[in-house]
Each structure stands twice: as structure tokens, then as C-alpha cells.
Copies of this chain bind each other. A is one copy, B any other.
Amino acid sequence: MTQMNQLGVVHRTIQRADPAAVKALAGFGSATVHEAMGRVGLMRPYMRPIYGGAHACGTAVTVLLHPGDNWMLHVAAEQIRPGDLVVAAVTAECSDGYFGDLLATSFRAQGACGLVIEGGVRDVKDLTEMRFPVWSRFISAKGTIKATVGSVNVPVVCAGVQVQPGDVVVADDDGVVVVPAAVAAATAEAAAAREANEGEKRKKLASGVLGLDMYKMREPLEKAGLRYVD
């Protein structure tokens, strides 16, 4: 499959990440998951949740929209399976509000657990009351048209990250991270290992132990040339 035939296509069959791995990843925050992958896979920080405390983890149904046109979101609704999270890219920057409470009602009815969109969203009060989490670049009441076909379940680039249909998306207050399906299980394990001794560290730091000592940084800092002056 090449980019040239990506417009006007809906892929009905996609390979979703292993459900066990998705479930495991759901227990971690975006910061931990992104570190576990080697500090890659994070969307640009302009992607913000519409309400504080939003958290979602699901398998990506991807959508490619045209600026000011949300037709493909309706097409995408049919491809949603329980546990999916819709990821929408737009072929050019446009602040329109592509998504509101009616689409959210439909997405939830099909089983979606959230939306990530590199564009605008509206009805944020309703969405907040519904607790349907959306991460977007803009909030805008501006409506869209239904005139040009885009695609569903093709690879897209959203906020600086390549997303394949079926990849795992973990989103919370800190941002949105994409885990390729093939490494979902390994990433969940690495995340678990990372968090294993965080409680211990937190306790030490809270008791007044310095990171300088806990992480044994004094010697490397001295070697790197750091000097103290009274």
C-alpha cells in the first residue's frame, strides 16, 4: 500500500494490538510509556485534553480528513470496535471544530474510548459532562462540511507521530503517546519495570535523601566539570 492510493479508501480489516498488552498499557501514564519506548512516540505538546484528568488507552482507528471537512468521521464510526480510540489527522492546518457531542454519542455507542484529533473540537461542555475524552489542538465552535472523501484506517501522521491502524494510544494530562502494535507487549513490560521501584525512590526522596546521592550523580558531575563556589 502506498500513499498514492490512500485517499478515498476505508480499510475494514486491521490488525489490532494484543488486548492483553493494551490492558497492561492502560495502567501507565503517557510519560512512563514514552520513556519505556526509549523516549519516542510522543505527539507534540500542543495536543491537550479538553478536561483535566482525562485518561484513555485504546487501539487506533485512523482517519485522514481534509481541512474543514469532517465527513470521514462518520465513515470511521462504522469501523470502531469496543476498545478503539479514533486518531484523526488533517491534510493541512485548520482550526475548525470537526467533532461534537452527536459524533461523541455515536462513537461511544460503537465502543470508542476517546478521540485524538489534530484539529478543533466543539461542544466541550457536553463532552466534559459525558466524560468522553478528546485530545485536540484547538477548541472551536466552527462547523465543517461533508464534501471531500479522505480515508479510514490508513497510516497517518498526527501531531508529529506516525500512527498505524491498530497501534496503541495512551493519552492523559501529560500528552498522547503512540505504541506500535508490534511492541505493545514489550513496552508494557518495560513500563512495569520502570515503575517497579518508583515507590521506593519516592519514599527516599520524601525522607530528604537527595537525587544526587540516590542516583550516584556526584562523581559524574565532577567529571563533567561542575564546581562548587561558596
Contacts and interface: CB of A to CB of B under 8 A. Distances in A.
B45 A95 contact: yes
B94 A92 contact: yes
B102 A202 contact: yes
Interface string A194-215: 0000100110011110111001
Contacts of A29: 123, 125, 141
- Copies of the chain in the assembly: 6
A8 interface: yes
A139 interface: yes
Contact-residue bracket for chain A: 35 or more
A174 B8 contact: no
A177 interface: yes
Interface string A96-121: 11001111011011100000000010
A211 B53 CA distance: 29
B40 A3 contact: yes
A105 B180 contact: no
Given A4-B37, A45-B120, A149 B67 contact: no
B160 A160 contact: yes
A41 B64 CA distance: 12
Contacts of A128: 52
Given A45-B140, A69-B68, A142-B42, A183 B147 contact: no
B140 A174 contact: yes
A136 to B, nearest CB: 10
Interface string A7-48: 111111100000000000000011100110111111011001
Considering the complex of A and B, which 5 residue pairs feature the smallest CB-CB distances, nearest first? Answer: A67-B68, A141-B174, A31-B141, A106-B205, A45-B140
